[in-house]
Amino acid sequence: HTHTQGDRQGHRHTQGDRHTQGDTDTQGDRHTDRGTQGDTDTQTGGHTGTDRHRHRCAGGRAGGGGQPLTAPMDLLRSLGHPEELLNLIRYKLGTDTSTRTRAAAKRPDAMSETLRTCYVYLNQTSRSFAAVIQALDGDLRQAVCIFYLVLRALDTVEDDMSIPLEVKVPMLHNFHTYLYLPGWSYSQSQQRDAQVLHDFPSISLEFRSLAKVYQDVIANICHKMGLGMAEFLEKRVQSIKEWDMYCHYVAGLVGIGLSRLFAASELEEPVVGEDTELANSMGLFLQKTNIIRDYLEDQQEGREFWPHEVWSKYVDKLSDFSRPANLQAALQCLNELVTNALQHVPDVITYLSRLHNQSVFNFCAIPQVMAIATLAACYNNPQVFRGVVKIRKGQAVTLMLEATNMEAVKGMFRQYSGVIRQKVPSAGISGVGTRQIVQKVEALSQSERELVSHGHLSPIYLSLAMFLVAVSWQYWQTLTHSSEEYRPTQ
C-alpha cells in the first residue's frame, strides 16, 4: 500500500492476520491482520506477515472481528448449506483438532520469561496468527513467532504518523540492526501495537536465542522490508509493476521469509526455501485479495492501493467508483484486478503441492483457500463499492477444517474458480482474460474430491438443517446454563 506521509495508506500485509477475511479476512496483516480467514482475516494468516493493509486477508479474521464464531445468525446464514452447519457445530464443540488445537507444545513453565512475554504479545497483536503459529511443529514455532513480532514492530514504526519522516526513514532502513542491540527500544509510539516497540528488548533477546540460520533469514527479510516501506512512504502505486513491487515488499517478502524458515527447520525440502518466485506469489495473492476487497474501507480512511494504471482507464478519480452512476465502470475495473490476482493461483497450487509437514501445510493452505473464496465473492459484485464483502462464517469454518490435504485444496480452488467463471459478464475488456486464467486454474486443480455446496435444497434437507440448528442452539444454551449453575461462589 503506498503511503504518503500525509495521505497515508497505512497497510501492509504480513502474513496475513487477516488469516484470511470473508465473514472472514485473508493471510496477511496489514492487509495483514485483518486479513483473510474468516472475515477472512483469519489467517489473510498464513502467509503474510503483519497486520497491515490492515486488511484482514486473506488473513484474516476468521471470526469476524472478535465476535463469537458461531452465533445464531451464522447458523441461519448457512441454512441452505448443511455441510457448513455441521462444520460450525464441529468447530463450536471443539471436536476437530486438525487446525486449531495445540496451543504450544512447550508448557509455559518450560519457556523463558521473555519467551512467555513474546507469546503474550503475539496473542495481543493477532489472535488468528497466534493460533496458527502455535500449531507449528518443533522449533519452527518459536522462529515464526519471533519473525511475526519483528515484522509487527517494523510495521508499527511505518504506520506511526507521529514519527517525522526524517526520523522514520532511517529507522526503517536500520531496523534490522536493532535486533542485535540488546537495549534498543522505542518508547514514543502510541500505536495500537506499540508494546512491541516499548519492550523490543524482550523480542530481540529471543531473536538472538534462535539458531543462526533462523536469525539470518529474519534479519535479511526485515532489512529488505524496511527499505521497501521507506520507498513507498511518499508515493502512490501507479503501474501494475509498482503494484506487484509494493505487494512484494509488504507480503511477498513475508512469504519468502517463511519459506526459508520452513526449509531451515528441515520440516520441508530445501526447494521450498529456494524457489522465491513461488513464495512471492503466495504473498501477492493474499495481499491483492485484501486490497481488492477493502476498496471502500481504504477510501473512507484516505488510502489508495488500487493501481492508477488500471483504474484511470475508467474514471478520473479512484473515489468516483463509489458513485452509482459509475457502477459499470467500477465493476469492469474490479474484474480486471481480480483477473490479475488470479494469475498467481497456479504458483500457489505448485507451492502447496511441495509441502510435506502437516502443520506447515495447514498454516499455508488455509489463507489461500480463504483468498480464492473471497475473490469469488468479490468478482463482479457491486457490494465491493457499497460495503463489506464477506464469506459466510460457516463457509470459512468449512474451509479451515477441510483444507488439510492437497486433494481437498485443489477441489476448493476448482470450485471457486468455477464460481468466478459463471459470473464473467459478456461485456468488459477483461472477460476473455478471466476465462483463460480460470480454465488454467481448473485444469491444474483437477481433483477426485471437491468441496460441494448446494445453493438449492429440497424441503427435507432444509427441514433437517433447521432441526440441527434448533437442537444445537438448545444444547449450547443448556450447557451455558448448567455451567453458570455449577460455577462456585467466591
- Looking at the DSSP assignment, which residues form a beta bridge with residue 20? 36, 37
Q: How far apart are CA 115 and CA 127, in angstroms?
A: 17
Q: How far apart are CA 432 and CA 425, in angstroms?
A: 10
Is 385 one of the catalytic residues? no
Check: CB of residue 291 under 8 Å from CB of residue 306.
yes
Is 363 one of the catalytic residues? yes
From the list 100, 293, 392, 414, the catalytic residue is 293
From the list 175, 207, 246, 351, the catalytic residue is 246
Q: How far apart are CA 20 and CA 406, in angstroms?
A: 19
Residue whose entry in the numeric block shows the C-alpha cell 468447530: 91
Q: Which three cell numbers stand for residue 149?
A: 513480532
Residue 76 half-sphere exposure toward CB, CA atoms < 13 A: 3
- Looking at the DSSP assignment, which residues form a beta bridge with residue 34? 56
Q: Which three cell numbers stand for residue 111?
A: 519457556
Eight-class DSSP state of 89: H
Q: How far apart are CA 21 and CA 374, in angstroms?
A: 7
- Cβ burial 147-177 (10 Å sphere, 16+ → b, else e): bbbbbbbbbbbbbbeebeeeebbebbeebbe
Q: How many CB atoms lie within 10 A of CB 211?
A: 12
Check: CB of residue 210 under 8 Å from CB of residue 230.
no
Side chain identity, residue 28: G
All residues at 6 or more sequence positions from 60 whose CB lies less than 8 Å from its CB, including other chains: 16, 17, 18, 19, 20, 21, 24, 25, 26, 27, 28, 29, 33, 34, 35, 36, 37, 38, 39, 40, 41, 42, 43, 44, 45, 128, 290, 367, 370
Is 293 one of the catalytic residues? yes
Is 414 one of the catalytic residues? no
User: From the DSSP assignment, how many helices (H) and strands (E) are in the chain?
Assistant: 22, 3
Q: How far apart are CA 91 and CA 70, in angstroms?
A: 8
From the list 363, 379, 413, 416, the catalytic residue is 363
Residue 378, Cα to own-chain centre: how many angstroms?
16
From the list 30, 54, 152, 303, the catalytic residue is 303
Cα distances (angstroms) measured from residue 476 to each of 93, 371, 479: 9, 31, 5
Provide the annotated active-site residues. 246, 293, 303, 363
